[in-house]
């Protein structure tokens, strides 16, 4: 039996149970991404799935869920095992240009064969929320977020190679979403 997570509250509970205790910094980031997603969903009249996906996007970092070490895939697989599927899971699987990082890690074919692509408008909105939220939950400009990620992982890491390959797409998407929103981000 396959369900959508229709409730952002359920998504919040699930994410809190998996991330809050073992990864408090990641949890601070996730809470702020979800808060921004609530604002973006309201401003752009998008479905609550955006908020649910924001709560769940980094759930694959939870230590007990690490399988491939690629958190979008590990997280989406976990949600599917839990009987959750549909748009929210696709958004998690492909969040913030994950298909480019999957290619860098040699997991592109696996990701594509297991999860269908996410709605592009929702996917762009989630990228905006993630890329404007720093590791401690503070607002950051997307370009600065990419600099921070590179610095955090160091020059040889797969995440850094991903960021280098995806930077222009990430900045283009984030800029496109930003143009649709009021000037003062929340």
Q: How far is the CB of 131 from Fe ion (least distance, A)?
A: 10
CB of residue 45 to Fe ion, shortest distance in Å: 25
CB of 125 to Fe ion, least distance (A): 15
Count of residues interacting with Fe ion (CB under 5 A): 1
84 versus 162: smaller Cβ distance to Fe ion: 162
**Of the two residues 72 and 184, which places its CB atom closer to Fe ion in the complex?**
72
CB atoms near residue 186 (< 10 Å)? 12
Site mask for Fe ion (CB under 5 A), range 2-41, x = bound:
----------------------------------------
Taking CB under 5 A as the criterion, which residues in 47-76 touch Fe ion? 58
Q: Which two tokens stand for residue 120?
A: 């592009």
Do 31 and 57 contact (CB within 8 A), yes or no?
no
Kindly tell me which of 5 and 91 has the beta carbon lying closer to Fe ion. Answer: 91
As measured in angstroms, the least distance from the Cβ of 54 to Fe ion is 10
Residues 121-160 that bind Fe ion (CB under 5 A): none
> Which residue from 112, 109, 55, 106 is spatially nearest to 84, judged by alpha carbons?
55
In 45-182, where does DSSP find H-type helix? 49-56, 71-81, 87-93, 98-104, 108-114, 120-131, 142-153, 158-179
Q: Which of residues 154 and 182 has its CB atom nearest to Fe ion in the complex? A: 154
Task: Look at the block and give the residue holding tokens 């998008």.
Answer: 46
Cβ-based nearer residue to Fe ion, 58 or 74? 58
Question: CA 11 to CA 98: how far, in whole Å?
Answer: 20
Q: Least separation, in Å, of the C-beta of 175 and Fe ion?
A: 20
**Tell me, what DSSP letter sits at residue 119?**
P
Q: Which of 134, 164, 135, 109 is nearest to 24 (CA)?
A: 135
Q: Which residue has its beta carbon closest to Fe ion? A: 58
Q: Using CB under 5 A as the criterion, which residues of the chain lie in contact with Fe ion when the complex forms?
A: 58
């Amino acid at each position: 039996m396959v369900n959508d997570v229709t409730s952002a509250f359920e998504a919040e509970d699930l994410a809190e149970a998996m991330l809050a205790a073992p990864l408090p910094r990641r949890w601070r980031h996730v809470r702020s991404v979800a808060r921004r997603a609530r604002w973006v969903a309201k401003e752009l009249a998008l479905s609550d799935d955006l908020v649910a996906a924001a709560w769940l996007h980094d759930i694959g970092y939870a230590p007990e869920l690490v399988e491939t070490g690629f958190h979008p895939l590990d997280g989406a697989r976990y949600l599917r095992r839990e009987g959750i599927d549909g748009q929210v899971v696709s958004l998690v699987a492909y969040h913030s240009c994950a298909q480019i990082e999957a290619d860098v890690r040699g997991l592109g074919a696996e990701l594509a064969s297991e999860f269908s692509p996410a709605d592009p408008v929702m996917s762009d909105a989630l990228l905006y929320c993630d890329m404007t939220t720093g590791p401690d939950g503070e607002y950051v400009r997307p370009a600065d977020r990419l600099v921070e990620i590179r610095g955090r992982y160091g020059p040889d890491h797969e995440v850094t190679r991903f960021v280098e390959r995806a930077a222009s797409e990430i900045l283009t998407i984030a800029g496109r979403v930003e143009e649709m929103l009021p000037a003062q981000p929340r």
